[in-house]
Structure 1
Amino acid sequence: MRTDHQPVRIALFAPDGRMGRAIQSAIAEDPTFALDNDNGDVLVDFSSPDALRSSLDRAVSAGVPLLIGTTGLIDEHDALIAEAARIVPILKAPNTSVGVALLADLTERAARILGPDKWDIEIVEAHHNRKADAPSGTALHLGAAAERGRGGTSPVERGRDGTGLKREAGAIGYSAIRGGTVAGDHDVMFLGPDERLILSHRAENRAIFARGALAAARFLRGRPAGLYSMRDVIDAA
C-alpha cells in the first residue's frame, strides 16, 4: 500500500496532447509526483469525447482512479461515467483550475442571493481559435452552478442572432468568443437594475490547469469509488 510520503504516480491517457505535455512539465517541477504511464496511481484523461469509453475501461480494469478533464461531453458520456464511478473513484472537471473551482462556488452563492425577478445572468467566455466546442465546458459548469443557486432548471439562451429578440425571464445566456491563443477567459455577469456584478477568471497560462489536475490527482488517490468534482478538492484543502 502506498503512503502519502511516496510520489503520486500519474498515468496520462493522452500524453502527447497539449494538456498532456503541460501536465508532464508540471510533474517535472514537483517531486511529489512522478510520471508512470504503465502503473500510475491515477489515470488522467484530457483527450476527446470519442476516447472516453477507452479511458473508463482502462481505469476500471486497472482499478485506479480517473481524472476526466475532457470537455464537450454529452448525456451519454455522463451515463458511462456514472456507471464506472460505482467501481472506481472518478473526478470529472471541465476545468481543473483551482481559481475556476472557487469561481463556481461564488457563482452559486451569488445566484442564490440575486433572484431571477430582478437579476439576469449572462456568461461570456473566450478561447483560442482551435477550440472545437462552444460554449466551453467551463461556461456550462458555471451555468450549472448558477442553476443550483437558484434552486432549479433555468431556460438557456445561446448564440443570439436576428431582430425582434426578447430575453426570456430567468434565462441564463451564453456567449462564446474564439480567436488567437486565449487560454480561457470567463465572466459571469449578474445584470440588475442600475448595477452589475461581474465575477471573472482569466487563465494566463495552461500551466494552471496542469497544476490543478495534479491537485485533483492527489485528492483522488486512496478515495473510495464515487463521482467527485473540483469543489471536493478545494473543500478538502
Structure 2
Amino acid sequence: MAVKICIIGAAGRMGKNIAEAVYNNENADAAGAVDRKGSDVLGQNLYETAGCGKGGPVITDDILESAKNADVIIDFTGAEPTYNNLSIYEKAGKPIVIGSTGFSDEQKKAVEKLSEKVPVVLAPNMSLGVNVALELIKEAARLLKGYDIELVETHHNMKKDAPSGTAMAMAEAAAKGAGLNLAENAVYARHGIIGERKPNEIGIQTLRGGDVAGDHTVFFFGNGERIEITHRAHSRKTFAGGAVTAALWLADKPKGMYNMQNVLGLV
C-alpha cells in the first residue's frame, strides 16, 4: 500500500520537485499539500501546480487539516518556517522528513525535542551521492594526516543560508576523520594580512550565483599533490527523490532522530 505524504511548501522549488517525485513513485501518494497564507496557489490541485500531472490534493494553508490523512510529512520550507511550525507538527503527531537547512543551535534542539514525540529524519542533503561522499571525506581525512583541508561550496543566488547545510556536514565529516573539533578550527573568511595558515584549519568558503543546484568540493592539500572530493547536483530532483525515499523508510519507524545515513543503510 502506498505511503501517504503531506508536502509543506508545495509551491516552492523543492515542493514542486517533491510533488513530482511522489507522483512518479508507485509506493507513494500525496495525501495533503500546504503553502503559506495568502499564496496564489491555495485551492489549486498539487500535481497541476507542480506541472507533473492532473489532480492531487487541494493546496491549503492548514497543516493539521492537510496532514490528517497522511502517513508522513515532508518539509523543505527553510529553517525559520520549519521552526515556527514545530508545535503544529507535534499536534499532528506524524513522522516528518525535514530537509530545511540553516538551523541555529536553539532551533536544532527544538527539532530534537520534537523527535521525542514523533520519528524525524533531519538531513541537510537527501541525495545518495552526498551521503556516500560524507563517508569518503571522513575516511580521506583519517588517512591524510597533516594535509590541509579546504572546502568550497556554490549555490544559486536565491539560497538564504551560508555555508550550506551540506557544506557544514562535509566539514564535520572531515573534522571527525581528522580528529579535530570543527567549531575550534573552522575558518569562514580570509582577508588582509592573516599570517600563515594554521595546521588544523578547515577552510569553508561560499559562492553564490545563477541557478546552481549545489556544488561542493573538499580539498586535501599535501606537499606536491592534492586530492579533491566533489559532488555536483545537476537538479533538485535528486534531493526530492531522496526525500520521498526517506518518507517511505520513516513511515513505520519508532519516535527518534534519524538522518540519511540511517535511511540509506550507511551506518
TM score, norm. by length of structure 2: 0.82
Aligned-residue offset at 1:67:
0.9
Distance in 2 (CA, whole Å) between partners of 1:236 and 1:153 is 23
In the other structure, the counterpart of 1:3 is none
2:27 maps to 32
1:1-237 residue pairs with structure 2 within 5 A? 6-37=1-32, 38=66, 39-115=69-145, 118-154=146-182, 155-235=185-265
CA drift at 1:114: 1.5
SS at the partner of 1:217?
A: helix
Whole-Å separation in 2 of the counterparts to 1:74 and 1:86: 19
Distance in 2 separating the partners of 1:236 and 1:135: 25
Structure 2: distance between partners of 1:176 and 1:12: 29
Alignment: residue pair count = 230
RMSD (CA atoms) = 1.5
Q: Which structure has the bigger radius of gyration?
A: 2
Q: CA deviation at 1:87?
A: 1.2
- The range that moved more, 35-44 or 197-206, is 35-44
User: What whole-Å deviation, never above 9, does each CA across 1:78-102 have from its counterpart, x for those lacking one?
Assistant: 1101111111111111111111011
Shift of 1:236: 6.6
Structure 2 residue matching 1:191: 3-state secondary structure: strand
Report the identity percentage: 39
Alpha-carbon distance, 1:52 to partner:
2.1
Asked if the contact 1:56–1:66 (Cα under 8 Å) also holds between the matched residues in 2, the reply is no
Task: Normalising by structure 1, report the TM-score.
Answer: 0.92
* Moved segments of 4+, more than 3 Å: none
Deviation digits for residues 17-61 of structure 1 (CA, Å, limit 9, x no counterpart)? 110011001111112111111221111111122212343223322
1:211-236: CA deviations, max 9, x gaps? 01111111111111111111111217
Instruction: With a CA cutoff of 8 Å and minimum separation of 6, indicate the structure with the bigger relative contact order.
Output: 1
